[in-house]
Every structure is written in C-alpha cells, then in structure tokens.
C-alpha cells in the first residue's frame, strides 16, 4: 500500500479531508469545473467563499464571511486584480523586500482543459503589498479559462505578457542581480520565496530557483 506524505501547509478540504497542493486546487475541488459533487453541495450551503472554510450552518457562514480575515487580504485583492483590463507591474512599491510570496492563477490547456497553464502571476512583500503583477500569455492554446475560480477572461490574455518575458522579469527580481550559482541562503541579495504550491507554480512558469531560497 502506498504511503502518502502531506505537508502541514497543504490546504485540506473541510468536508472529505482531501489534501490539495494549493489554495487554487482546493477551490477547484469545491467549486471548479469538475468538483467533487458531495463537497460542492455542502460547500454551497456552509462554505466561506473567501477562505474556503466549512461552517456549521448557513447563518454561521453569513456571520463568518462578514469578518473573514481573507476578505480584505491577498485573496480578495488578487480577485480584484483579475478584473482589471491592463496588467500592473510595480517594482517600487516596497523597499527591497528580503522575503516575497508568489502566487499564480492557472487556466486549462489540452483537449480536455486539464493541463495547468499559468495565466496570471502576482508577487507580494511581507506586508501583502503587491509589487509585481501581470497576466501571462501561455505558449500553448487555452481551452478552459476556468473563469469561476480564476476570474480570467480572453480579453485579459489577448495583450498579456509572453511567458518568456514574465520568466525573465521574475527571475531578475528574485535573484536581484546575483547569478543563480552564486546565491547563498544567509548572504547576498537574492530574495527568499514563500507560498503554497510553489513547486507547481514554478513548474507552470517553467522557472527554476535555488531550492534553499524556497520556503
């Protein structure tokens, strides 16, 4: 029997206890194009649309959502960013942060739309200030925009930044002028990268970064 090893940082479905690799994966498990139906039914009644927590009753959900800590946090701001017409890129909004968080929104590719393609990327500092944000044009055709969970429309991608350009900008920002081979965890200028599901996000960005700088 195969043993599964899960990180304590992985988001978990409050209904079936399924471990998901990222917050986006959990959202798709609950309300995506192909959700687990039992979980979707319960979530539609008792689930918080911001943090995906399952509450005891519809009334408890209403009270919780009025004060949910994620409602004014990064998750909500990412949703707003997804509705903007133009990409936003700002390297000067914080003072050279040492630790940054990266998050991507995935659309679907392939004949059945199940292939994850990065279509939006956001980097924030420790105070959740957005210091880099852009829509990304994947190298493969998009067959499912997953709008319910991504908020991304075709017009957002039409003039989006090409993947190769996004890779270059993100790498330059993370390395901060240091060659990859020279990066050290306790010295130098390269930034520490944090976030949920970073392996899959970096993979979809086709971006390599020093493993000892990832948390």
CA distance 210 to 38: 40
- Extract the tokens encoding 170: 């993100």
Cβ pair 187, 168 in contact under 8 A: no
Cα distances (Å, whole numbers) of residue 35 to 6, 14, 50, 111, 179: 21, 14, 17, 19, 43
Helix/strand/coil percent split, the chain, to 5: 35, 20, 45
Q: Which domains does the chain have, with CATH numbers?
A: 23-67 (no CATH), 85-213 (3.30.420.10)
* pLDDT, one tens digit for every residue, the chain (215 residues): 444 555 555 678 989 988 887 777 788 889 888 889 999 999 999 998 877 889 999 999 888 877 764 444 444 444 443 333 334 444 444 456 778 889 899 999 999 999 999 999 988 888 777 888 889 999 999 999 988 788 888 998 999 999 999 998 888 888 777 776 666 666 667 788 888 888 889 999 998 887 777 77
């Amino acid at each position: 029997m195969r043993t599964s090893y899960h990180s304590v940082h992985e988001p978990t479905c409050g209904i079936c206890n399924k471990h998901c690799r990222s917050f986006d994966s959990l959202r798709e498990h609950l309300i995506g194009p192909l959700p687990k139906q039992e979980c979707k039914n319960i979530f539609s009644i008792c689930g918080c649309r911001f943090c995906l927590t399952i509450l005891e009753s519809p009334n408890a959900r209403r009270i919780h959502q009025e004060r949910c800590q994620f409602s004014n946090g990064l998750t909500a701001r990412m949703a707003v960013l997804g509705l903007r017409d133009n990409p936003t890129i700002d390297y000067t909004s914080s003072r050279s942060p040492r630790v940054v968080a990266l998050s991507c929104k995935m659309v679907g590719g392939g004949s059945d739309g199940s292939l994850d393609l990065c279509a939006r990327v956001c980097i924030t500092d420790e105070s959740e200030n957005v210091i880099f944000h852009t829509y990304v044009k994947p190298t493969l055709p998009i067959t499912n925009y997953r709008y319910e969970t991504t908020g991304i429309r075709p017009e957002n991608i039409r003039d989006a930044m090409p993947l190769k350009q996004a890779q270059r900008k993100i790498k330059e920002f993370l390395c901060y002028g240091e060659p990859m081979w020279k990066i050290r965890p306790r010295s130098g200028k390269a930034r520490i990268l944090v976030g949920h599901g970073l392996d899959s996000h970096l993979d979809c960005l086709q971006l390599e970064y020093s493993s000892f700088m990832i948390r």
